[in-house]
C-alpha cells in the first residue's frame, strides 16, 4: 500500500502539467466549496417514495455517492467520511420489493461490496489516499448498479487516465463538469466523459 501511494505521488508530480493542473484552480475551488455548502443545506434524507414511478430506488445512494465524490474533489476527507457514512445508511435502506430473483442476487453482491467500501471510507477520515483507493472500487459498484437498475436520471462516467500510477480510474457524476475526486485540487479538471448512463 505504501508503495502504491508513492507511485501515485510520483505519477502526479511528473504529470502535473499534463492535465491542466493549474487551469482555473481558484475559480474551480470556490465553485466546489459553494457546491459543498449548498449540499450541506439540502435535506439529505428526503423521501424518494412520492415519485416512485420516475425516481430510482437508488436515488439516495447516488446522491450520497455524489456527496462523497465532491468532498474528495474538495480534498475534504472528513466530509468524504460523512458522505460515505450517509451512503452506507442509504444502501441499507434500499427497498428491494419488486426485484426479480436475478436482481436480488445481483444486488446482494453489490450491496455487500458497497457496504464494505463505505465503511472503510468512513473509518479513514484521516487518510484521503486510502479513501480514494476505495472510491475507485466503489465507483465500479455504482456503475454496475446503474447498468443493472438504471439511475433514474442521466449519469456520466468520467475517466481520469492518471490515477493509480497511470492505470486510470473512473467515477460517476450527474454533471459533465469534471471535478476529479482522485486528485482534488492538484488536478481538479483532469478527466473526460466516457459514457452517458440513464
Ligand atoms: Cu480500507
pLDDT tens-digit series, residues 34-51: 444 444 444 444 433 333
Ligand 1 centroid from CA 27, angstroms: 32
Ligand 1 centroid from CA 124, angstroms: 7
> What are the residues whose beta carbons fall under 8 Å from the beta carbon of 175, sequence distance 6 or more?
156
Q: Give yes or no for residue 87 having a pLDDT over 80.
A: yes
Ligand 1 centroid from CA 134, angstroms: 6
pLDDT score, position 19: 53
Q: Give yes or no for residue 55 having a pLDDT over 90.
A: no
Tens of pLDDT along 3-29? 444 444 444 444 333 454 444 433 344
Ligand 1 centroid from CA 121, angstroms: 7
Other beta carbons within 10 angstroms of residue 185's beta carbon come to: 15
Please state, for a pLDDT cut of 70, what percent of the chain lies above it. 72
Ligand 1 centroid from CA 147, angstroms: 25
Ligand 1 centroid from CA 122, angstroms: 9
Of 74, 53, 68, nearest to 131 (Cα)?
A: 68
Ligand 1 centroid from CA 119, angstroms: 8
Ligand 1 centroid from CA 198, angstroms: 30
Of 68, 108, 72, 73, nearest to 91 (Cα)?
A: 108
Three-class SS state of 159: strand
Q: Distance between CA atoms of 190 and 53, rounded to whole angstroms?
A: 36
pLDDT score, position 198: 82
Ligand 1 centroid from CA 127, angstroms: 10
Query: What burial class does residue 15 get, using C-beta atoms within 10 Å of its C-beta: 0-12 exposed, 13-18 middle, 19+ buried?
Result: middle
Q: Distance between CA atoms of 196 and 35, rounded to whole angstroms?
A: 22
- CB of 16 within 8 A of CB of 186? yes
Who has greater pLDDT, 33 or 182? 182
Ligand 1 centroid from CA 80, angstroms: 14
Q: Distance between CA atoms of 44 and 52, rounded to whole angstroms?
A: 17
Which residue carries 451512503 as its cell?
Answer: 87
The pLDDT-based confidence of 98 (bands split at 50, 70, 90) is: confident
Amino acid at each position: 500500500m505504501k508503495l502504491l501511494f508513492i507511485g501515485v505521488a510520483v505519477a502526479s508530480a511528473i504529470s502535473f502539467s499534463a492535465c491542466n493542473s493549474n487551469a482555473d484552480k481558484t475559480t474551480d475551488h470556490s465553485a466546489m466549496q459553494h457546491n459543498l455548502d449548498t449540499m450541506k443545506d439540502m435535506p439529505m434524507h428526503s423521501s424518494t417514495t412520492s415519485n416512485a414511478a420516475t425516481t430510482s430506488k437508488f436515488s439516495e445512494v447516488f446522491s450520497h455517492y455524489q456527496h462523497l465524490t465532491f468532498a474528495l474533489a474538495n480534498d475534504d476527507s472528513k466530509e468524504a467520511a460523512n458522505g460515505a457514512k450517509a451512503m452506507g445508511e442509504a444502501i441499507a435502506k434500499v427497498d428491494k420489493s419488486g426485484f426479480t430473483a436475478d436482481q436480488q442476487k445481483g444486488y446482494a453482491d453489490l450491496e455487500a461490496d458497497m457496504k464494505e467500501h463505505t465503511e472503510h471510507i468512513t473509518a479513514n477520515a484521516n487518510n484521503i489516499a486510502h479513501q480514494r483507493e476505495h472510491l475507485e472500487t466503489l465507483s465500479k459498484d455504482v456503475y454496475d448498479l446503474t447498468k443493472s437498475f438504471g439511475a433514474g436520471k442521466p449519469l456520466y462516467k468520467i475517466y481520469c487516465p492518471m490515477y493509480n500510477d497511470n492505470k486510470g480510474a473512473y467515477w460517476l457524476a450527474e454533471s459533465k463538469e469534471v471535478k476529479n475526486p482522485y486528485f482534488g485540487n492538484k488536478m481538479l479538471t483532469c478527466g473526460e466523459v466516457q459514457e452517458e448512463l440513464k
